[in-house]
């Protein structure tokens, strides 16, 4: 019998791609939503309500989840892990964020401690650590880099000739959310996928802000200049992002502007192995959006 899969966060950039990719498999899928009826085959629930998570996981063998930019992110993630444990879930898949894959228990604890001191990624990495330690659920952690789809927050500005995302000039790896969805669907439905961490990265090791602008210029056939002003971007996003998410993004961009965050060839290869094809290039993504 097909496994029953629960997807949490299915209305978001990543979750909607996981649902799309699962539709191509025989899996029976259920989506947990905060607002009843907003997705097909959905159940109402909230990460902050453990009873709703337990009810949503009744009969479920596999669970995919993301955690939101929320002051209680760590607790919200732990609620999922506990509910999944109680429900006897056999595979737990968590989409975290891109970083070096640290596998030993001690290394992981040290890494999470250090990252919590130096960055705002502490809560997410703490959830990731708990997922990885939940060995009975054959856990898979996807570690995606900066989403190509972030560009869809400011398509109007791009079409008007300005690329506003302040990625800086050092270079950062970027990935297509469709690849994250395909990778998650495989991890959820293919028992041959080993537990562990998987970098979800694009094929170009690193893209700079000006390089992204140049790709848009090429595809649109018009001038697109890189703005790069962090505070101008922050003001632009005032009514396009939740306050906490906008704040976290600003902190992330400050890191990108100081240091290069490039994917290593072995990480790109590991991602391609999980996808069973190369990850989509940034230019291919931009072409798809431009055509749409
Ligand atoms: N953007 C990037 O470049 C990037 C890169 C690496 C990692 N990430 C991480 O990837 C993860 C997913 O990002 P995303 O862009 O897909 O997020 P998103 O578009 O904001 O979607 C978040 C989803 O979580 C749901 N949600 C939020 N709070 C909830 C709660 N209390 N109970 C139940 N559901 C809740 C939302 O439901 P509603 O539809 O009801 O709001 C939405 O479906 C995040 O943890 C993010 O930090 C992002």
Contact 178, 248 (CB under 8 A): no
Q: How far is CA 97 from its chain centroid?
A: 6
β-partners of residue 140 are 93, 196
Q: pLDDT digit string (tens) for 41-61?
A: 999 999 999 999 999 999 999
Residue 2 has pLDDT above 80, yes or no: no
User: Which atom of ligand 1 has the smallest separation from the CA of 34?
Assistant: 40
Contact 141, 128 (CB under 8 A): yes
Distant-in-sequence, close-in-space partners of 271: CB < 8 Å, separation ≥ 6: 179, 183, 198, 199, 200, 201, 279
Query: How close is the Cα of 245 to the center of ligand 1, in Å?
Result: 9
Question: Does an H or E element contain 172, and which?
Answer: none
Distances (CA, A) of 56 to 17, 90, 186, 215, 250: 20, 15, 22, 43, 34
pLDDT of residue 191: 96
| Closest to 256 in 3D by CA, of 177, 165, 152 | 165
Query: How close is the Cα of 278 to the center of ligand 1, in Å?
Result: 25
Q: What's the rounded Cα separation, in Å, for the pair 15 and 126?
A: 21
Residue having the nearest C-alpha atom to atom 21 of ligand 1 = 12
| Closest to 126 in 3D by CA, of 99, 144, 104, 108 | 108
Contact 227, 163 (CB under 8 A): yes
Is 68 touching ligand 1 by the criterion CB < 6 Å?
yes
Mean pLDDT (the chain) is: 96
pLDDT of residue 32: 97
Q: pLDDT digit string (tens) for 191-200?
A: 999 999 999 9
Place of tokens 């063998």: 61
Half-sphere exposure of 94 (CA within 13 A, CB side): 31
Residue 259 DSSP SS3: coil
Query: How close is the Cα of 248 to the center of ligand 1, in Å?
Result: 13
Contact 270, 199 (CB under 8 A): yes
Percent of the chain whose pLDDT exceeds 70: 99
Burial class (CB in 10 A: 0-12, 13-18, 19+), 194: exposed
pLDDT of residue 1: 60
Is 144 touching ligand 1 by the criterion CB < 6 Å?
yes
Is 3.40.50.720 the CATH classification of the domain at 4-144+176-200+265-279? yes
Contact 119, 251 (CB under 8 A): yes
Is 167 touching ligand 1 by the criterion CB < 6 Å?
no
Query: How close is the Cα of 12 to the center of ligand 1, in Å?
Result: 5
Q: What's the rounded Cα separation, in Å, for the pair 78 and 82?
A: 6
Is 75 touching ligand 1 by the criterion CB < 6 Å?
no
Burial class (CB in 10 A: 0-12, 13-18, 19+), 3: middle
pLDDT of residue 118: 84
Alpha carbon distance, N-terminus to C-terminus of the chain? 38
Q: pLDDT digit string (tens) for 184-223?
A: 999 999 999 999 999 999 999 999 999 999 999 999 999 9
Which of the listed residues 8, 12, 17, 72 should we mutate to test ligand 1's pocket, taking the one with most ligand atoms within 8 A of CB? 12
Around Cβ 108, how many Cβ atoms within 10 Å?
18
Distant-in-sequence, close-in-space partners of 180: CB < 8 Å, separation ≥ 6: 14, 17, 18, 95, 142, 144, 147, 200
Residue 204: phi, psi to the nearest 5?
A: -85, 120
The residue ranges of every structural domain in the chain are 4-144+176-200+265-279
Contact 143, 270 (CB under 8 A): no
Is 150 touching ligand 1 by the criterion CB < 6 Å?
yes
Query: How close is the Cα of 69 to the center of ligand 1, in Å?
Result: 7
Question: If you average pLDDT over residues 98-127, what whole number do you get?
Answer: 91
CA angle, 55 then 198 then 133, to 5°: 55
């Amino acid at each position: 019998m097909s496994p029953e899969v629960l997807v949490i966060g299915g209305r978001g950039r990543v979750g909607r791609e996981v649902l799309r990719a699962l539709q191509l498999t025989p899996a029976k899928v259920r989506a947990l939503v905060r607002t009843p009826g907003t997705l097909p085959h959905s159940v109402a629930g909230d990460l902050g309500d453990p009873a709703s998570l337990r009810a949503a996981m009744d009969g479920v063998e596999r669970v995919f989840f993301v955690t939101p930019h929320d002051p209680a992110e760590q607790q919200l993630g732990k609620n999922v892990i506990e509910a999944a444990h109680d429900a006897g879930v056999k595979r737990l898949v968590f989409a975290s964020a891109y970083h070096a894959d640290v596998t030993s228990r001690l290394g992981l604890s040290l890494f999470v401690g250090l990252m919590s001191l130096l960055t705002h990624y502490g809560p997410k990495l703490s959830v990731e650590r708990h997922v990885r330690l939940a060995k009975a659920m054959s856990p898979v952690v996807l570690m995606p880099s900066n989403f190509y789809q972030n560009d869809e927050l400011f398509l109007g500005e791009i079409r008007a000739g300005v690329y506003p995302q302040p990625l800086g000039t050092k270079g950062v790896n970027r990935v297509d959310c469709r690849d994250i969805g395909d990778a998650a669907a495989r991890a959820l439905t293919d028992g041959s996928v080993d537990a562990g961490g998987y970098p979800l990265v694009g094929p170009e090791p690193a893209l700079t802000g000006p390089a992204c602008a140049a790709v848009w210029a090429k595809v649109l056939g018009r001038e697109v200049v890189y703005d790069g002003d962090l505070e101008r971007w922050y003001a632009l996003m005032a009514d396009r992002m939740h306050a906490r998410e906008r704040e976290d993004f600003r902190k992330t961009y400050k890191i990108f502007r100081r240091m290069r965050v490039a994917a290593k060839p072995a990480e790109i290869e590991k991602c391609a192995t999980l996808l069973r094809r190369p990850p989509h290039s940034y230019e291919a993504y931009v072409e798809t959006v431009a055509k749409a």
